[in-house]
Amino acid sequence: MNTTTTHSRDEAAFDPVLGVSLYREMVRIRMIEEEIAARYGEEKMRCPVHLSIGQEAVPAGISAALRKTDQVVSTHRCHAHYLAKGGDLKAMLAEMMGREAGCCAGRGGSMHLFDRDAGMLLSLPIVAASIPVGVGAAMAMKQRGEDNVAVIYLGDASVEEGVFHESANFAAVRKLPAIFVCENNLYSVYTPLRDRQPDRPISELGRAHGLHTVEVDGNDALGVYRAATELVAHARSGAGACFMLADTYRWREHCGPNFDNTLGYRTVAEFEDWKGRDPIESLILRLEGKGALDAAERQAMANEITAEITEAFAFAEAAPFPSIATAADNLYAL
Amino acid sequence: MNTTTTHSRDEAAFDPVLGVSLYREMVRIRMIEEEIAARYGEEKMRCPVHLSIGQEAVPAGISAALRKTDQVVSTHRCHAHYLAKGGDLKAMLAEMMGREAGCCAGRGGSMHLFDRDAGMLLSLPIVAASIPVGVGAAMAMKQRGEDNVAVIYLGDASVEEGVFHESANFAAVRKLPAIFVCENNLYSVYTPLRDRQPDRPISELGRAHGLHTVEVDGNDALGVYRAATELVAHARSGAGACFMLADTYRWREHCGPNFDNTLGYRTVAEFEDWKGRDPIESLILRLEGKGALDAAERQAMANEITAEITEAFAFAEAAPFPSIATAADNLYAL
Amino acid sequence: MPSERIITAAQAIREALGEALRDRPETYLMGEGVADPGGIFGTTKGLIEEFGPDRVVEMPVAENGLTGIAIGSALMGQRPIMTHQRVDFALLCLEQLFNTAAKSHYVTGGKHRVPLTVRMIIGRGWGQGPQHSQSLETLFAYIPGLKVVMPSTPYEFKGMMHAAIADDNPVMVLEHRWLHYVNGHVPEGPYLSPLDGPKVVKSGDRATVVASSYMVLEALRAATALEHVGCSIEVIDLRVLRPLDMTPILASIRKTGRLVVCDTGWKQFGIGAEIVANVVEQAFDALKLPPARVGLPDHPTPSSLPLAEVYYPDSTDIVKHIGRLCGLSPDAVDKACTEVLAVRQGVPIDKPDPAFKGPF
Amino acid sequence: MPSERIITAAQAIREALGEALRDRPETYLMGEGVADPGGIFGTTKGLIEEFGPDRVVEMPVAENGLTGIAIGSALMGQRPIMTHQRVDFALLCLEQLFNTAAKSHYVTGGKHRVPLTVRMIIGRGWGQGPQHSQSLETLFAYIPGLKVVMPSTPYEFKGMMHAAIADDNPVMVLEHRWLHYVNGHVPEGPYLSPLDGPKVVKSGDRATVVASSYMVLEALRAATALEHVGCSIEVIDLRVLRPLDMTPILASIRKTGRLVVCDTGWKQFGIGAEIVANVVEQAFDALKLPPARVGLPDHPTPSSLPLAEVYYPDSTDIVKHIGRLCGLSPDAVDKACTEVLAVRQGVPIDKPDPAFKGPF
Ligand SMILES: Cc1ncc(C[n+]2csc(CCOP(=O)(O)OP(=O)(O)O)c2C)c(N)n1
Ligand SMILES: Cc1ncc(C[n+]2csc(CCOP(=O)(O)OP(=O)(O)O)c2C)c(N)n1
Ligand SMILES: [Mg+2]
Ligand SMILES: [Mg+2]
pLDDT digits (tens, 9 = 90+) for C126-184: 999 999 999 999 999 999 999 999 999 999 999 999 999 999 999 999 999 999 999 99
Q: What pLDDT was estimated at residue D123? A: 83
User: In chain A, which among 89-128 make CB contacts under 8 A with chain D?
Assistant: 100, 103-108, 112, 114, 116, 121-122, 124, 126
Kindly indicate the confidence band of residue B10, based on its pLDDT and cuts at 50, 70 and 90.
low
C173 beta partners: C119, C149
Q: Is there a domain that residue D194 lies in?
A: no
Residue ranges lining ligand 2, Cβ < 6 Å? B 76-77, 125-127, 155-158, 185, 187-189, 254; D 32, 61, 63, 89, 92
Looking at beta carbons, which residues of chain D come within 8 Å of A129? 68, 95-96, 99-100
What's the ipTM?
0.98
Mean pLDDT (chain B, rounded): 96
Q: What pLDDT was estimated at residue C92? A: 98
Ligand 2 mean position, distance from CA C290 (Å): 49
Mean pLDDT (chain A, rounded): 96
Q: Which of C188, C193, C286, C289 is nearest to C237 (CA)?
A: C193
* Nearby residues of C313 by Cβ (< 8 Å), 6 or more positions away: C215, C218, C262, C294, C295, C296
Ligand 3 mean position, distance from CA A271 (Å): 14
**End-to-end C-alpha distance for chain B, whole angstroms:** 51
Cα(D113)–Cα(D106) distance, integer angstroms: 9
pLDDT > 80? residue A12: no
Looking at beta carbons, which residues of chain B come within 8 Å of A245? none
Phi, psi of A151 (to 5 degrees): -105, 130
CA atoms within 13 A on the CB side of A94: 24
Annotation says C227 is catalytic: no
Class of domain A4-317: alpha beta
Q: What pLDDT was estimated at residue A9? A: 56
Q: Are residues D167 and D203 in the same domain?
A: no
Of C15, C19, C32, C63, which one is the catalytic site residue?
A: C63
pLDDT in tens, B228-268: 999 999 999 999 999 999 999 999 999 999 999 999 999 99
Q: Contacts by D35-42 with C-beta closer than 8 Å and gap 24+? A: D35/B191, D35/B195, D36/B189, D36/B190, D36/B191, D36/B265, D37/B190, D37/B263, D37/B264, D37/B265, D38/B190, D39/D14, D40/D83, D40/D85, D40/D121, D41/D10, D41/D121, D41/D177, D41/D180, D42/D8, D42/D10, D42/D11, D42/D14, D42/D180
Q: Supply the DSSP string of A5-53, one letter for each residue.
A: -SB---GGG--HHHHHHHHHHHHHHHHHHHHHHHHHTTS-S-S-----T
pLDDT > 70? residue B332: yes
Q: What pLDDT was estimated at residue D225? A: 98
R_g (Cα) of chain A, nearest Å? 19
DSSP SS3 for A268: helix
Ligand 2 mean position, distance from CA D195 (Å): 33
pLDDT in tens, C308-325: 999 999 999 999 999 999
Query: Average pLDDT of each block of 10 consecutive residues along chain D (360 residues)?
Result: 90 98 98 95 97 97 98 98 98 98 98 98 92 97 98 98 98 97 97 98 98 98 98 98 98 98 98 98 97 98 97 97 98 97 90 87
Angle between helices A162-173 and D63-75 (to 10 degrees): 70
Averaged pLDDT, B142-146? 97
Q: Are residues D171 and D243 in the same domain?
A: no
Cα(C45)–Cα(C42) distance, integer angstroms: 5
Averaged pLDDT, B70-91? 98
* Nearby residues of C74 by Cβ (< 8 Å), 6 or more positions away: B136, B140, C80, C101, C113, C114, C115, C116, C170
Q: What pLDDT was estimated at residue D358? A: 82
Of D132, D180, D185, D321, which one is the catalytic site residue?
A: D132
Q: What pLDDT was estimated at residue C123? A: 82
Select the residue of A106, A126, A167 nearest D69 (Cβ to Cβ): A167
How much of chain C is helix, strand and coil, in % rounded to 5? Answer: 45, 20, 40
Q: What pLDDT was estimated at residue C354? A: 86
Q: What pLDDT was estimated at residue B113? A: 98
Please tell me which residue, A2 or C198, carries the higher pLDDT value.
C198
**CB C58 less than 6 A from any atom of ligand 1:** no
Cα(B311)–Cα(B313) distance, integer angstroms: 6
Q: Is there a domain that residue D351 lies in?
A: no
Q: What pLDDT was estimated at residue B5? A: 44
* Nearby residues of B43 by Cβ (< 8 Å), 6 or more positions away: none
Q: What pLDDT was estimated at residue D344? A: 85
Chain C residues whose C-beta is within 8 A of a chain B C-beta are 26, 28, 54, 59-60, 62, 64-78, 95-96, 99-100, 104-114, 144-145, 147, 168-169, 243
Q: Is there a domain that residue C208 lies in?
A: yes
* Nearby residues of D65 by Cβ (< 8 Å), 6 or more positions away: A131, A132, A135, A162, A163, A165, A166, A167, A169, A170, B162
DSSP state of A167: H
Cα(C301)–Cα(C311) distance, integer angstroms: 7
Q: Which of B185, B228, B265, B208 is nearest to B3 (CA)?
A: B185
Q: Is residue B136 within 8 Å of C72, Cβ to Cβ?
A: yes
Query: Which stretch of DSSP H or E encloses residue B75?
Result: none
Q: What pLDDT was estimated at residue C338? A: 97
Which of B75, B161, B326 is the best mutation test for D, with the most CBs of D within 10 A? Answer: B161
Q: Are residues D37 and D103 in the same domain?
A: yes
Looking at beta carbons, which residues of chain A come within 8 Å of B173? 195-198
Q: Is there a domain that residue C243 lies in?
A: yes
Q: Are residues D88 and D150 in the same domain?
A: yes
Of D63, D156, D218, D274, which one is the catalytic site residue?
A: D63
CA D37, chain centre distance (Å)? 25
Q: Is there a domain that residue D355 lies in?
A: no
CA D214, chain centre distance (Å)? 7
Annotation says D95 is catalytic: no
Say yes or no: A239 contacts chain B, CB-CB below 8 A.
no
Cα(B9)–Cα(C192) distance, integer angstroms: 61
pLDDT > 70? residue A128: yes
pTM above 0.95, yes or no: yes
* Nearby residues of D104 by Cβ (< 8 Å), 6 or more positions away: A122, D71, D75, D112, D113, D114
Which residue in chain C has the smallest CA separation from A164?
Answer: C62
Which chains, if any, share at least 3 CB pairs under 8 A with chain C? A, B, D
Cα(A231)–Cα(C263) distance, integer angstroms: 51
Averaged pLDDT, A94-100? 98
Q: Cis peptide leading into D359, omega within 30 of 0?
A: yes
Q: Are residues C156 and C275 in the same domain?
A: no
Q: Are residues D109 and D44 in the same domain?
A: yes
Ligand 1 mean position, distance from CA A188 (Å): 6
Angle between helices B57-64 and B221-236 (to 10 degrees): 40
Q: What pLDDT was estimated at residue A5? A: 44
Bin A43: left if φ > 0, else alpha if -120 < ψ < 50, else beta.
Answer: left
End residue of a domain, out of C133, C150, C185: C185
End residue of a domain, out of C154, C185, C216: C185
Distance from the C101 Cα atom to the nearest Cα atom in chain A, whole angstroms: 20
Q: What pLDDT was estimated at residue C358? A: 82
Q: Supply the DSSP string of C40-97, one letter for each residue.
A: TTTTSTTHHHHH-TTTEEE--S-HHHHHHHHHHHHHTT-EEEEEESSGGGGGGGHHII
CA C110, chain centre distance (Å)? 28
Q: Is there a domain that residue C192 lies in?
A: no
Distance from the B65 Cα atom to the nearest Cα atom in chain C, whole angstroms: 21
Amino acid code (one letter) for A170:
F
Cα(C238)–Cα(C215) distance, integer angstroms: 10
pLDDT in tens, C216-235: 999 999 999 999 999 999 99
* Ligand nearest to the backbone CA of A158: 1
- Full domain range(s) for residue D78: 6-185
Q: What pLDDT was estimated at residue A10? A: 62
Determine, for residues D300 and C107 on separate chains, whether the beta-carbon distance falls below 8 Å: yes
Q: How far is CA C286 from CA C244, C343, D274, D279, in A?
A: 20, 34, 20, 17
* Nearby residues of C334 by Cβ (< 8 Å), 6 or more positions away: none
End residue of a domain, out of D152, D185, D218: D185
CATH code, D58 = 3.40.50.970
Q: What percent of chain C has pLDDT over 90?
A: 95
Looking at beta carbons, which residues of chain B come within 8 Å of C69? 132-133, 135-136, 139, 167, 170
pLDDT > 80? residue A4: no
Q: How far is CA D313 from CA D50, D214, D295, in A?
A: 41, 11, 7
Q: Is residue B121 within 8 Å of B70, Cβ to Cβ?
A: no
Which residue in chain A has the smallest CA separation from C296?
Answer: A328
Which chains, if any, share at least 3 CB pairs under 8 A with chain D? A, B, C
CATH code, D312 = 3.40.50.920
Looking at beta carbons, which residues of chain D come within 8 Å of A131? 65, 68
Looking at beta carbons, which residues of chain B come within 8 Å of C169? 332-333
pLDDT > 60? residue C83: yes
Q: Classify the C-alpha dihedral B66-B71-B77-B81 as positive or negative.
A: positive
Q: Which of D67, D47, D58, A212 is nearest to B195 (CA)?
A: D58
Ligand 4 mean position, distance from CA B38 (Å): 23
pLDDT > 80? residue A150: yes
Mean pLDDT (chain D, rounded): 97
Q: Are residues D121 and D226 in the same domain?
A: no
Kindly indicate the confidence band of residue A3, based on its pLDDT and cuts at 50, 70 and 90.
very low
Q: Are residues C176 and C204 in the same domain?
A: no
Q: Is there a domain that residue D328 lies in?
A: yes
pLDDT in tens, A198-227: 999 999 999 999 999 999 999 999 999 999
CA dihedral B112, B116, B119, B120 (to 10 degrees): -10
Cα(A279)–Cα(A53) distance, integer angstroms: 10
Amino acid code (one letter) for C271:
I
Determine, for residues D33 and B124 on separate chains, whether the beta-carbon distance falls below 8 Å: no
**End-to-end C-alpha distance for chain D, whole angstroms:** 13
- Residues whose Cβ atom is located within 5 A of ion ligand 4: B 155-156, 185, 187
Strands B150-155 and B71-74: parallel
Cα(A199)–Cα(A160) distance, integer angstroms: 14
Q: Is residue A210 within 8 Å of B198, Cβ to Cβ?
A: yes
Q: Which of D32, A171, D87, D82 is nearest to B190 (CA)?
A: D32
pLDDT > 80? residue A7: no
Which residue in chain C has the smallest CA separation from B165?
Answer: C65
Q: How many domains does chain D have?
A: 2
pLDDT > 50? residue A6: no
Atom of ligand 1 nearest to the CA of C89: 1
Cα(A228)–Cα(A85) distance, integer angstroms: 14
Q: Is residue D222 within 8 Å of D343, Cβ to Cβ?
A: no
Determine, for residues B166 and A172 on separate chains, whether the beta-carbon distance falls below 8 Å: no
Q: Classify the C-alpha dihedral A78-A79-A81-A87 as positive or negative.
A: positive
Averaged pLDDT, A252-271? 96
Say yes or no: C300 contacts chain D, CB-CB below 8 A.
yes
